[in-house]
Amino acid sequence: MGFVSLLINVLNYVGIIAFASSGAFKAYEKGLDILGGIVLGSSVALAGGIIRDVLLGIFPPTNIVYLPYAVTAITASIVAYAFYPLVSRFREAFLYADAVGLGTFAAVGAEIAYQHSLNILGIILMAAITATGGGVVRDVLAGEVPVIFRRDIYATIAMLGGILYVILRPVVGGEVDILVTAVSIILVRFVIIMKGLDKSYVTIRMVRHGVNNREREALKRK
């Protein structure tokens, strides 16, 4: 296994664990049982890669046939669900886990698209689809409007990561490009979360603190 392949594999595991955790957190907040946590966690962790592979003509999709990915997703979902009462004190736990998944999967999606000789637009789209596809499935299963339709900046950041990948690939090569793309997206999302610029962060504050409708509108205007 070459270094790029190893890096992609490692980032896939990181993304799967992060996204599975975010899905399990969402399930807990929705009052679902452990099975719901496994379903939501595994869906968000694996769906983006499955959608990407189908669009690229990779059959069967890697996330379906490679058992360690599925086992990792299920295990991470169970652990995250079980420990949510502890990490819930860290109010942005869901958002930070989601940010890590977004960055790693966008970078992996861009690299795999590049390896399949897609053009610039294709690479950017595959980065966004890989990073956001699972989140769409998670939100639909949770009975919510998908996150990419509620806050455009979410998908936009993934696409900007794809653009960064395209710019850096001829200059620094695959290994550095993948890492820089992933880290850049994660850091941007972290800053947005810490600054309270994320609409879902506002929603979390409202849910946790029992904000009334008038206060809710005031928070949204901020």
| 2-30 residue pLDDT tens | 888 899 999 999 999 999 999 999 999 99
For residue 156, give the amino acid letter: T
Taking the C-alpha atoms of residue 47 and residue 63, their distance in angstroms, rounded to an integer, is 8
Is 12:49 a contact under the CB 8 Å cutoff? yes
Which percentage of the chain shows pLDDT scores above 70?
Answer: 87
Average pLDDT of the residues of the chain: 87
Domains of the chain: which residue ranges? 3-185
Model confidence pLDDT, tens digit, residues 113-137: 999 999 999 999 999 999 999 999 9
Of these ranges, 45-49, 149-153, 190-194, the one predicted with the greatest mean pLDDT is 45-49
Taking the C-alpha atoms of residue 107 and residue 166, their distance in angstroms, rounded to an integer, is 10
Is 98:18 a contact under the CB 8 Å cutoff? yes
Model confidence pLDDT, tens digit, residues 71-95: 999 999 999 999 998 887 776 788 8
Task: Note the pLDDT of residue 152.
Answer: 55
- pLDDT tops 70 at residue 199: no
- Encoding tokens for residue 58? 């990779």
Task: Note the pLDDT of residue 215.
Answer: 38
Task: Note the pLDDT of residue 209.
Answer: 45
Q: Whole-prediction pTM value?
A: 0.86
Task: Note the pLDDT of residue 213.
Answer: 41
Which percentage of the chain shows pLDDT scores above 90?
Answer: 69
- pLDDT tops 60 at residue 211: no
- pLDDT tops 80 at residue 162: yes
Give the residue-averaged pLDDT of 193-199: 78
CA 14 to chain centre: 10
Taking the C-alpha atoms of residue 187 and residue 79, their distance in angstroms, rounded to an integer, is 25
Task: Note the pLDDT of residue 1.
Answer: 59
- pLDDT tops 80 at residue 97: yes
- pLDDT tops 70 at residue 151: no
- Encoding tokens for residue 203? 């929603």
Task: Note the pLDDT of residue 171.
Answer: 92
Number of neighbouring beta carbons within 10 Å of residue 84:
19
Task: Note the pLDDT of residue 176.
Answer: 92
